[in-house]
Every structure is written in C-alpha cells, then in structure tokens.
Structure 1
Amino acid sequence: MSEQNKKFPTFQLNVDDFLPADEAEKESLVTMRASVGFWKDGFQRLLKNRVAIVSFVVILIVMIFSFIVPSLYPYSYEHQIRGAENLAPMQYSDGELEQIAAGESVFPHILGTDHLGRDFAVRVMMGSRISLLVGLIASGLILLIGSIYGSVAGFFGGWVDIIMMRIVDIIYTVPDILIIILLAVTLKYPLQNLAEQPGFGWIAAVGVNLTSIFIVFALLYWVGMARIVRSQILQLKEQEYVTAARALGASSGRIIRKHLLTNCIGTLIVTTTLQIPSAIFTESFLSFLGIGVAVPMPSLGSLANDALNGLQSYPYRLLAPALLISIIILSFNLLGDGLRDAFDPKMKE
C-alpha cells in the first residue's frame, strides 16, 4: 500500500491485521492482575496484615478460654470450698492436702481462691464469657438499629433526614455514663416484675441487670452507627444501579435492603468490630460500679471491683481481670483496624 493511500480513509482491508498474534503481542495483552471479587480481595489483604491475624488468633484463644474450658474445668464459678478461702495461686487447702496425702488427685487452684473459697481461675473465665457476650450482643443490637435508622434517613432525605438526624444530635448531647447508670437502676425493678410474667422467663435466665444493659445499649449507642450508615447511603443512592432499580419498579425497602446496605457491608463489619471493645469496656465499667451482672455470676468488671478490698494482700486478683480486659479490647481494636485497611476501598494503594 502506497504512502498516499495511508493518509486517506479506505474500505480496503489490510491482510496483515488478520494474521495470528505472536507470543510478544499475547503477553502485552495479558492483564497485570487477575480479577477478584470484593470479599476475596479483602481477605487476601487481611491475611497480609500480621497484626490483625495475631489479634484474631488471640480473640479465638480467649473465646476458647471463656466458652469451652469452663465446661471441662473441675471447679464451678459459684462452688464454695470450705477451708479454701484466700488461697494463693497453686496453693492447696488443709483438706485438699489431706486428700493428696491419702492418694487422691486434686486439681490445683491455678489463680488461687477468693474470700468465699471459690476458684478464681474459673471465675475469670466466666467473667470473660459474660464480657464477650455483652460485647457481641450489644454490637449486634447497635448494628441492627443503627443501620436501619441511618439507611432510612439517608435514602429518603429531605425533612425525614432532618428530623431523624436532629434526634441523633439530641441523643449525642446526653451524657452517656450518667444516663446509663440512671436507666440501669430505673429498669431493674420493672424488669424484675416483667420476668415473673408468663413468656418472659428469659429475662430471669439472662439476668435483670444484664437485660437492662442490653436495653441501654439499644437506646443510646446506635447513633454513631446511624451516622456512618447515613453518610454511606447518601453517596450510594446517586449511583446508576439505584436509578436502574427505581426504573424497574423496585420498592424503597428493597433498594435499601438489596442494593444500598449490601454495598455498605464492608463498612458495617468494620464499624461493628470496633464497637465490640467499647461495649465490653462499658459493661466492665458498670459491673465495676456494682450495677452490672448480678452475683454470683462474675464479670471482669465485678471481679476487679472485688479485688480492690484486698489489693495489698492479693494484688493478682486485680491483675488477672484487668489484664484480660486490656487484651480483649486491644485485640478487637487491632482487628478492626486490619478489617478497615482490608475492606475500605480508599485504603487500597
């Protein structure tokens, strides 16, 4: 083909354009990275974060320590052993020493006993179980209420958004700890009466104080989740797939549930994970003040409070629950940071 023909459009086909590509041309067309989904990409990034993985392993160990080991442990958290009061770690009472001398096998008190002769190690295990349950259940309630509230406010906008978010602002101005204490004390007696009614026996099983803590979290602590979800919905509702769903006749509830909240799932997971240590700390603080779980059920906060009476003589009683609270909260915070780095698209390089 002449140089003149190359300068002007032509309907003639160039046979060279239909020749098979050589290896060099094939390699130039290969994508640099295989296409992966959102979840696979997020978990791959999470596995590269050693701090987050170590934190996750620590959380698993604490959960095994809290939920499985107590069922295999020879002592109960409420069983009182006469003559075994205020034993030091790995120490036996006189009666247990006589049993050992007689050839019987006696399991040692790894962390000693308290002033009532109850094994302290199993009480720490049960205390960590209560704290973890409160953190997980409270975070679930916060996720449910906050995501629904924030998605409705962000999706409908206008006066609906203004009224709903002003309610959030009012709740934000309320002093948290003061209201939590007032509500926990105020709800105690109505819940006791309600637990005696047919169909509400679960309140007695869970515990009146513990139920009041869950109600307090459901009433106050969802506002942060609602704000985060609202900000995400305000961005996502302008996307083309939302417009297409509206054009196809999808209802507002279906759009929120199937399209908007589904695309916020990464943010929801990260925020919920970071909410767990806050709930654990709040429960431990309430139990430390004496308005948490009811005796004889232990909590890490109540164990720390009981340890103050004999702090100079038995400092390890405060060290064990305080150290466990710190480990749990630190592990969840580090895991939440790792999840944020893995599932937040803005963090990708």
Structure 2
Amino acid sequence: MPKNKLSMQLNVEDFLPASDAEKESLTVMRKSVGFWKDGIRRLKKNKISMVSLAVILVVFVLSFVVPQFYPYSYEQQIRGSENLAPMQYSQKEQTAMDAGENVFPHILGTDNLGRDYAVRVMMGSRVSLMVGLIASCIILLIGSLYGSIAGFFGGWVDMIMMRIVDMIYTVPDILIIVLLSVAFDQPLKALSQRPGFQWIQIIGVNLISIFVVFALLYWVGMARIVRSQILILKEQEYVTAARALGASSGHIIKKHLLTNCIGTLIVTTTLQIPSSIFTESFLSFLGLGVAAPMPSLGSLASAALNGLQSYPHRLFAPALAISVIILSFNLLGDGLRDAFDPKLKD
C-alpha cells in the first residue's frame, strides 16, 4: 500500500540492512599501507624516476659486470692498435681476421697507448660510482650523527655545533685536497709497502685525500637537514613518553628520531651521490683524482683535450657518461623526494 506523502509515518524500507554492493559503493578510504609500501607505490607511478632507475641499473651492469667478461682490460696496451677510431681494426688484427680468427672490435676505438677505450670508460664509470657511493655513505654517517646531536640537545650545544658548521662552510675544499695530497704522499707511500696495505697503491693517495675531505667538509649540508628534522620530531609525544620511561638520549636519537627521518636521509643521500661524482670528476680532470693507469671519467676527459680535433669521441664518451649518471641520480632523487614526502599524498 503506498504511503501518504503528508503522513508522518516512517518508511520501514529505509531501515533495512545495506547490501554488500551498497557498502562497497560507500567505501571511500583505501587500504591501509605502510610507509615503505606507500612510498614505493607512488615512486612506481613516477615514470621519469623509474626510467632513471633503469638507466642507473644499466650503468651499474656496464661498470661492474661487463668488464669482468670484456676481452680487453683497462690497462692492456695492444701494440700496433694506437689511436684507432670506433669499430676500427689495426693491420695486425685485420690480418688475424683474414686468417679466420675472431677479433673483438674496439667499440670506442683505442687511445694513444693502444688501450681499448670502451673498457676504460666503463672502468672510469665504476670509479666514479664507487667514489659517489662511498663518499655519500661517509657524509650520511657523519652528517646524521652530528645534526641529530645538535638538534636533540639544543641550547648552547646546538649554537656551538652550528657555528662550527658555519666555519666549515668557508673552508676552500680544493686547497684542502691539494694540501692533504702533499701531506699524505710520503706517509701513505711508505705504508703501502707494508704487507696488507697494497690497496693504498691501487686507490691512490689523491683519492684517499678526496675521501678525507668529504669526511671533513661535505657533511655540513646533511647535518643541517637532519638538525631541522630533529628539532620538529623531538617535540612529539612518543619522544616525551620515551623520556618518561627512562630511555637514554642515545637510545631516543637512534630508535625514535633517526628512524623517523629515514625518508629524508634516503632522499638527501641519493641527491648527494651525483654531487660527489661531479666533485670527483672535476678533481680528476685537474689531475687530483685516481692514479694512473686506473681511469676516471674526469681523467679521461682531461686526457682527451689534447686530441680533441682528431679524436673528439674520446671527450664525448666520458662527458656523456658523466652527464647520464648525474642526470639519472638527480631525477631519481627528485622522485624519491616526492614519493617519501608525507605531505604529498594522493
């Protein structure tokens, strides 16, 4: 029987239980996900960052895996194969090919000493990547520890520590590297002659000086970023609760504050890697990088300047490698910043 529109009687059908389809149509909240899962999900939606990550993985394979199976080594000098153009064979190699032998081509030609240039670019990329990663780890450890202590204790401790940071900003890094290279030259050479310290000769005094400078100077930016995060986080309720339960300052910094800064630390470290790579390449270009015959992208570019008119590919190859590596890490860092920023929720 239809209900009278002027009646005050309630419609019983309005109080029937909702069906499953109606419940699903009213659901507006998405499934609960963790911090890492949510960040990775949003990172995957950033196509530019994913392409950059793929490029970085390809560079790592070319730098660390391919040289192990490449038929030429970075220091091998092939007599009669000096100054070859890309994909060109020497007279001796051409004769061997005519005799039925298989000769692997020089993809990027050779240098003036007959060394295959492609494997040297790959090894130079390996050196640059290792320097960038190791230097960024050093900066992460020192900067996060220093900044967390300054931000957590505050007051006169924070003021003194930050004034030290301001003074370090004024120190010229190139001058320090030159001075350290001179000061460490003889002691490190003497130490490298002892058993178990031959790795110093492989790395080189200049490269060790670069790592020391990174440990002394380049952590200040990381320290400032971590300090600003700690100043905000230390006022949260869980920090007050940890103090009330008797937790030590070191435990609070390690377990509560730095743990909640992990997203910022990852993003900052990722953006620090290309900066470290560029610094190492610049210093190697000036002759303050790795020792010969170990190549670096900067030293390869510096050596290519002498034959720029005749062999321009020797400069373009390492320059292109530096550009691709730095651009890929910068784009990946931007994507990580967007993905792990809690203020950017979609």
CA shift digits 1:264-303 (9 cap, x unpaired): 0000000000000000000001110111000000000000
1:63 equivalent to 2:33? Answer no
- CA shift, 1:179, in A, is 2.7
SS at match of 2:247: coil
Which residue of the other structure, out of 268, 272, 276, is the alignment partner of 1:275? 272
Q: Distance in 2 between matches of 1:196 and 1:168?
A: 37
Paired residues for 1:1-349 under 5 Å: 21-23=17-19, 26-27=23-24, 30-197=27-194, 200-349=197-346
- CA shift, 1:102, in A, is 1.2
SS at match of 1:345: coil
Q: Over the residues paired in the alignment, what is the CA RMSD in angstroms?
A: 1.8
Instruction: Tell me the equivalent position of 1:3.
Output: none
TM-score, structure 1 length as denominator?
0.91
Amino acid at match of 1:178: L
Q: In the alignment, is the contact (CA less than 8 A) between 2:136 and 2:272 conserved in 1?
A: yes
Q: Indicate how the Cα distance of structure 1 residues 155 and 208 shifts in structure 2: closer, same or farther if over 3 A, else same.
A: same
Q: In the alignment, is the contact (CA less than 8 A) between 2:173 and 2:213 conserved in 1?
A: no
Q: Distance in 1 between matches of 2:345 and 2:181?
A: 43
Q: Distance in 1 between matches of 2:25 and 2:172?
A: 62
CA shift digits 1:236-280 (9 cap, x unpaired): 000000011111111111110000000000000000000000000
- CA shift, 1:98, in A, is 1.1
Q: Distance in 1 between matches of 2:44 and 2:124?
A: 31
Q: Distance in 2 between matches of 1:80 and 1:181?
A: 31
Q: Distance in 2 between matches of 1:168 and 1:152?
A: 13
Q: In the alignment, is the contact (CA less than 8 A) between 1:185 and 1:291 conserved in 2?
A: no
Q: In the alignment, is the contact (CA less than 8 A) between 1:85 and 1:115 conserved in 2?
A: yes
Choose 207-216 or 326-335, whichever is displaced more: 207-216
Q: Distance in 1 between matches of 2:200 and 2:282?
A: 22
Percent of pairs with identical residues:
77
Q: In the alignment, is the contact (CA less than 8 A) between 2:203 and 2:290 conserved in 1?
A: no
TM-score, structure 2 length as denominator?
0.92
SS at match of 2:115: coil
Q: Distance in 2 between matches of 1:213 and 1:196?
A: 21
SS at match of 2:343: helix
Q: In the alignment, is the contact (CA less than 8 A) between 2:203 and 2:291 conserved in 1?
A: no
Q: Distance in 2 between matches of 1:20 and 1:248?
A: 51
Q: Distance in 2 between matches of 1:25 and 1:99?
A: 78
Which ranges of structure 1 fall in alignment gaps of 5 or more residues? Answer: 1-15
Which ranges of structure 2 fall in alignment gaps of 5 or more residues? Answer: 1-11
